[in-house]
Chain A
Amino acid sequence: MPTATIPAPPLLDSLPEGSVEVVEGLDQPTWIVRRDALAQVARQLRDDPETQFDLLLDLCGVDYPDRDERFEAVYHLYSLPRAARLRLKVPVLEDDPVLPSLIDVWTAADWFEREAWDMFGLRFEGHPNLRRILTHEAFQGHPLRKDYDPARRWILTEDKIYKPNPQPTGSESVDDMFERMTINIGPSHPAMHGTFRVVATLDGEVIVASEVEIGYLHRCFEKMAETHTWQQVIPYTDRLNYCSSFINNVAYCRTVEKLMGIEAPPRAVWAQMILSEFSRIMDHCVCNGSTLVDTGALTNFWYMFQPREEIYGLLEACCGARLTVSACRIGGLLEDLPPDFEARCRHLLETVPEFIDDVDKVVTKNRIWLDRSVGVAAISAEEAVDHGWTGPCLRASGVDYDVRRAYPYDLYGEVDFEVPVFQGGDVFDRYRMRMEEIHQSLSIIRQLLDRGMPDGPYIVDDPHVALPPKEDAYNQMEAMIYHFKLIMDGIQVPPGELYHMVEGANGELGFYVISDGSGKPYRIKVRPPCFPIMASFSHLMQGGTISDAIATLGGLNIIAGELER
């Protein structure tokens, strides 16, 4: 178990007296921080050479209506230089849910704080723009509070829609010859890949200020998870990053398995790794394909979609679904692998690279593509970390952080693969990164196939977790009772909390789950890798042209389902 070995960071002497209380016995080092000391503690954790927590992974609220201090803000920190993790918890009162904003410590806090305000009504003092982010303007109340009815809707009418008018800050340029124009792109626009809205103020063709509005696909994943049993959440996780839904399945199931202290059998782990890597390939195909189609290279979009079709065939053979697979179960797989699983994988290992190489030949040295991508929307490593980036986009900026390498879960410690790193941090490097990762994924799959499929069961042999086989459920009393209990009451997860992460297709995909032992999740927070990336879009586009914006957005691989949950 990787997170069990996470070392506790030192308690700094310089912290104010009594500001921090260390909690023992959790999956990772956890501190309870007094609210009035939070800003100072955060700053010192970031700056002190002994801690260096430079990456704010996640910020979320939790509601405990029975406690005196009803709300809790939970921060997940990561230190790249020290590979350390830390969770900060800040309890606040219901009557006074105010915290200091940490936006000037970690820029990544910007959207996370807005989300916590939107969902829980936590107010962050000092935040420059504490508006609702996921729900709409006519929304009343804070939906993730426990006393909010999950189905209570509010209707938005056109006159209430927020009308952004981004204006550049700082001094106006003197040789400003053009009249400024504000244009609106999205939420329904072919280049917006789903549902975002960018309002940009242009000076000629140059973006001088822009504002991003999201929330058009906020499907209330976290609230839905609280109203369903632990197994019933699995189909919802499919629809987070729907381009690589299998990885979400694995991430969620692993988290719950760890919380329950069970382990999936080797056969399931082996197959889950192979299918995860195929899903990563599929995801990168969509990302690169749609980046290219946005820049006018339509043929490559068709080329990139064909490997997906091939991989869909394998997924369909494993679970019957193509896109939203729900193929994992807590403790293993939905069903045993098809008899031709290995043959199908081998076949894919031969066919998929052909399509990728075709695109590689057509695009990678293509003058038009180079002109559109090299140096466009470049971001330095420091800035990317400050904005909370992870995954291929961060590695394209030169930071070598991959969860598969840093915390090798499953069998990643036993296979040989490289973590490609590029230095440019621009659209072109993000594209190259994904192309390179496809090859690495293929190599991982090949090694796993060479190890051979492990024998044994595909799901744990525990009647409290895995459904009994259908013939037993129909013919044996005991199996029928277990079947009934599992369907009606669900898996009983012991009380506790845990954060577990995997390397998703676009970064660290984490699940922070809290169980109160009631049979339904008390709280599930997804650490969506593309959320902080999208949050920095305005920053990336500052000074670029409008056509750069279109080329950039595709390469960031923003998946609305995961971004807005």
Chain B
Amino acid sequence: MIGESWVTTTVDKLEEWGRNNSFWPLPFGTACCAIEFMSVVSSHYDMARFGYEVVRFSPRQSDVMIVAGTITDKMAPTLKRIYDQMPDPKWVVSMGACACSGGFYRAYHVMQGIDEIVPVDVYVPGCPPTPEGLMYGILQLKEKIKRDSKRRLKEKRAHGDDSGSAAA
């Protein structure tokens, strides 16, 4: 800080700070977990406190997909397609046992974990997870993004690359 109106930082840090505090989550809610997700966004738990303010239903405008609920084989192509429509950088939070592993539905129509088709950043266990559990998960995602950006910085320095590109 110099005086009151100057901040010095690196582009990476600024970018990380911005990302970390203004997630636009896409709720991919299918089942019971979606009801708990609604609890998390409504007044009592209020996920907006952590920078997850703007819930977007359009994949084009969001950067975190929160998969809340069982994904069946019938839904799978849709999930993949929506993930592909999200712009980079993007993250996926797998909420609940079904999205993580199929849960207790070891069955003919249930995908045994969404990581069969999309990469997952944070797994939140529970059936459904408590709102506290989901909030812990999304805070972990923040940590992960911080860590990633530090690691990227290190990698860049090691390789002498200063292009500043930030592929997540």
Q: In whole angstroms, how far apart are the Cα atoms of A223 and B110 in the complex?
A: 12
A residues 145-170 touching B (CB-CB < 8 Å): 148-158, 161
Q: In whole angstroms, how far apart are the Cα atoms of A240 and B105 in the complex?
A: 13
In the assembled complex, the CB of B136 is this many whole angstroms from the nearest CB of chain A, namely 16
**B59 (CB) vs chain A CBs: closest residue:** A188
Query: Is B44 engaged at the interface, CB distance under 8 Å to the other chain?
Result: yes
Query: Is A243 engaged at the interface, CB distance under 8 Å to the other chain?
Result: yes
Q: In whole angstroms, how far apart are the Cα atoms of A242 and B34 in the complex?
A: 10
**B117 (CB) vs chain A CBs: closest residue:** A155
With A188-B82, A189-B57, A305-B43 known as contacts, the answer to whether A323 contacts B32 (CB < 8 A) is: yes
In the assembled complex, the CB of A294 is this many whole angstroms from the nearest CB of chain B, namely 12
Q: What number of A-B contacts does a CB cutoff of 8 Å give? A: 129
The 0/1 profile, CB within 8 Å of B marked 1, for residues 272-285 of chain A is 00000000000000
A residues 542-565 touching B (CB-CB < 8 Å): 560-561
Q: Once the chains bind, are A220 and B43 in contact (CB under 8 Å)?
A: no
Residues of chain A within 8 A (CB-CB) of B127 are 324
Q: Once the chains bind, are A156 and B73 in contact (CB under 8 Å)?
A: yes
Query: Is B62 engaged at the interface, CB distance under 8 Å to the other chain?
Result: no
Q: In whole angstroms, how far apart are the Cα atoms of A185 and B73 in the complex?
A: 19
Q: Once the chains bind, are A323 and B35 in contact (CB under 8 Å)?
A: yes
Query: Is B123 engaged at the interface, CB distance under 8 Å to the other chain?
Result: no
**B73 (CB) vs chain A CBs: closest residue:** A156
Query: Is B149 engaged at the interface, CB distance under 8 Å to the other chain?
Result: no
With A218-B109, A306-B43, A560-B31 known as contacts, the answer to whether A161 contacts B36 (CB < 8 A) is: no
Q: In whole angstroms, how far apart are the Cα atoms of A216 and B32 in the complex?
A: 14
The 0/1 profile, CB within 8 Å of A marked 1, for residues 55-84 of chain B is 001000000000001101111111111100
Q: Once the chains bind, are A309 and B44 in contact (CB under 8 Å)?
A: yes
B residues 115-168 touching A (CB-CB < 8 Å): 127-128, 130
Query: Is B106 engaged at the interface, CB distance under 8 Å to the other chain?
Result: yes
Query: Is A135 engaged at the interface, CB distance under 8 Å to the other chain?
Result: yes
With A156-B74, A308-B39, A324-B127 known as contacts, the answer to whether A217 contacts B30 (CB < 8 A) is: yes
The 0/1 profile, CB within 8 Å of A marked 1, for residues 31-58 of chain B is 1101110110011100000000000010
Q: In whole angstroms, how far apart are the Cα atoms of A360 and B66 in the complex?
A: 33
**A161 (CB) vs chain B CBs: closest residue:** B77
Residues of chain A within 8 A (CB-CB) of B110 are 153, 219-220
Query: Is A286 engaged at the interface, CB distance under 8 Å to the other chain?
Result: yes
Q: Once the chains bind, are A323 and B36 in contact (CB under 8 Å)?
A: yes
With A187-B78, A220-B105, A220-B109 known as contacts, the answer to whether A194 contacts B38 (CB < 8 A) is: no
Residues of chain A within 8 A (CB-CB) of B73 are 136, 139, 153-156
B residues 8-36 touching A (CB-CB < 8 Å): 28-32, 34-36
Query: Is B6 engaged at the interface, CB distance under 8 Å to the other chain?
Result: no
**B110 (CB) vs chain A CBs: closest residue:** A219
With A190-B57, A302-B43, A323-B32 known as contacts, the answer to whether A148 contacts B108 (CB < 8 A) is: yes
Residues of chain A within 8 A (CB-CB) of B98 are 219
Q: Once the chains bind, are B107 and A219 in contact (CB under 8 Å)?
A: yes
Residues of chain B within 8 A (CB-CB) of A242 are 31-32, 35
Q: In whole angstroms, how far apart are the Cα atoms of A323 and B69 in the complex?
A: 13
Q: In whole angstroms, how far apart are the Cα atoms of A149 and B109 in the complex?
A: 11
In the assembled complex, the CB of B58 is this many whole angstroms from the nearest CB of chain A, namely 9
Query: Is A428 engaged at the interface, CB distance under 8 Å to the other chain?
Result: no
The 0/1 profile, CB within 8 Å of B marked 1, for residues 120-161 of chain A is 000000000000001110010001000011111111111001
The 0/1 profile, CB within 8 Å of B marked 1, for residues 165-201 of chain A is 0000000000000000000000111100011000000
Q: In whole angstroms, how far apart are the Cα atoms of A302 and B43 in the complex?
A: 6
Q: Once the chains bind, are A217 and B108 in contact (CB under 8 Å)?
A: no
With A153-B109, A239-B32, A561-B32 known as contacts, the answer to whether A305 contacts B81 (CB < 8 A) is: no
Query: Is A235 engaged at the interface, CB distance under 8 Å to the other chain?
Result: yes
In the assembled complex, the CB of B43 is this many whole angstroms from the nearest CB of chain A, namely 5
Q: In whole angstroms, how far apart are the Cα atoms of A270 and B25 in the complex?
A: 43
Q: Once the chains bind, are B108 and A323 in contact (CB under 8 Å)?
A: no
Q: Once the chains bind, are B39 and A305 in contact (CB under 8 Å)?
A: yes
Q: In whole angstroms, how far apart are the Cα atoms of A239 and B33 in the complex?
A: 10
Query: Is A372 engaged at the interface, CB distance under 8 Å to the other chain?
Result: no
Query: Is A322 engaged at the interface, CB distance under 8 Å to the other chain?
Result: yes
Q: What are 22 A-B pairs with beta-carbon distances under 8 A?
A: A143-B109, A151-B107, A156-B73, A156-B76, A156-B77, A187-B75, A187-B78, A190-B57, A194-B69, A195-B75, A215-B74, A217-B31, A220-B105, A223-B107, A236-B104, A242-B31, A305-B38, A305-B39, A306-B43, A308-B39, A323-B35, A560-B31
Which are the 3 A-B pairs with shortest beta-carbon distances? Answer: A220-B107, A242-B32, A136-B74
